[in-house]
Structure 1
Amino acid sequence: MKILIVYGTMEGQTTKIAHFMEELLQKENHKVVLANASKNPPTPDSFDAILIGSSIHLNTYNPSIRGYIKNNVEVLNKKITGFFSVSMAIISDLPEKQHEIDQIAKKFLIDSSWNAVEIWHIAGALKFTKYDYLKKITMRSIAKKEDGPIDINKDYEYTNWTKVKNQVSQFSNHLKINSNGQT
């Protein structure tokens, strides 16, 4: 099947996740097009399935992703689609933090009128080496409250690659079942 992956990123972890998904889907013999939402991505019309992902910053998703969905929502709602939400809050031990992230994603989808078939929450990374000084201090303060790392001279990756692999594999299997006309 022909699959489009569109992503919005700030520091690059969502890009890394999208590339990982692309590789997995290609191994499953899908034709995959990967596109950064801020660089004139293709419309979803000619694709069988679409995965769209964005990181969350200050409780909001990437503006280019919001724009892409808004401009293509009618087509997206006729296709098999999935949304991957990348955040640090999803690794919190506090259930209310995880619930908050889930609610942000659900509200985003409702507000955009997009009926994504799949919603995945994926842990991101703390990319201290890519932050400006103010963001380093802010992110260190947040990490400290969560008993996380506080060395602003290092990066910390929290993405569970096995979980991502399993989610993508399930999505691929769902596509194969649908292409065979089964339910």
Structure 2
Amino acid sequence: MKIGIVYATVDGQTLKICTKIKEELVQLNNQVELYSVDDFNEEITNFDKFIIGSSIRYGVHHKKIIEFINTNKSKLDTTKTAFFSVNLVARKPEKNTPTTNPYVVKFFKTINWKPTLVEVFAGKLDYKKYPYFDRIMIQFIMWMTKGPTDKTVEIEYTNWNKVSEFGKTLHNL
């Protein structure tokens, strides 16, 4: 199978997840090509399966991913597709599925596309990497959601077993 993966990331965790998914799929003898949404210049229809991954910042999926989906919807509809969201809200067990994650639910209410498979992964919290304004805003959001607010905190919430299983599921899609 020839599989394309397009992603948008702010802090790099979505790329890290895409790389793990690619590794899983390559181990299962798939040909996988990974692109930043900024660098994708192929034809979606040249792939047997197509995966899109997006980070979230301030409750919104990456603008370029939304534009990409809207621009390519008719082509995406002709192949097997998957979408995954990376966000810190998914660190909570009650909000780590596509049907319980508020950002994913909201996303699919505002976009006219239905992928074959949807998943959500918790991201990484790393206050030291954030610019000042982002750090203050994320600390405030974490305070409101009872998360860690210590500006020295670095926590990777991503469940790598879940990412690996997603890769295997994509192979069988």
Query: Taking structure 1 as the reference length, what is the TM-score of the superposition?
Result: 0.85
Length, aligned pairs only: 170
Q: 1:130 to 1:161 in 2, by over 3 A?
A: same
Structure 2 residue 17 is matched with structure 1 residue 17: yes
The 8 Å contact of residues 35 and 42 in structure 1, kept in 2 or not, is answered as: no
Query: Which runs of structure 2 are paired with 1:28-39 in the superposition (5 Å)?
Result: 28-39=28-39
| Aligned-partner Cα distance in 2 for 1:66–1:116 | 13
Deviates more, 1:122-131 or 1:72-81: 122-131
| Aligned-partner Cα distance in 2 for 1:56–1:46 | 28
Give the % identical residues.
32
The 8 Å contact of residues 22 and 167 in structure 2, kept in 1 or not, is answered as: no
The 8 Å contact of residues 82 and 118 in structure 2, kept in 1 or not, is answered as: yes
Report what 1:48 is aligned to: 48
- Secondary structure of 2:7's match? strand
| 1:135 to partner: Cα distance | 1.3
Report what 2:109 is aligned to: 107
- Which amino acid in 2 is paired with 1:19? T
Unaligned runs of 5+ in 2: none
Structure 2 residue 135 is matched with structure 1 residue 136: yes
| Aligned-partner Cα distance in 2 for 1:50–1:134 | 35
- Secondary structure of 1:21's match? helix
| 1:173 to partner: Cα distance | 1.8
Report what 1:145 is aligned to: 144
Report what 2:70 is aligned to: 70
| Aligned-partner Cα distance in 2 for 1:76–1:119 | 14
| 1:102 to partner: Cα distance | 3.5
| 1:146 to partner: Cα distance | 3.0
| 1:58 to partner: Cα distance | 2.0
Q: 1:124 to 1:41 in 2, by over 3 A?
A: farther
Structure 2 residue 123 is matched with structure 1 residue 121: no
Unaligned runs of 5+ in 1: 175-183
| 1:119 to partner: Cα distance | 0.7
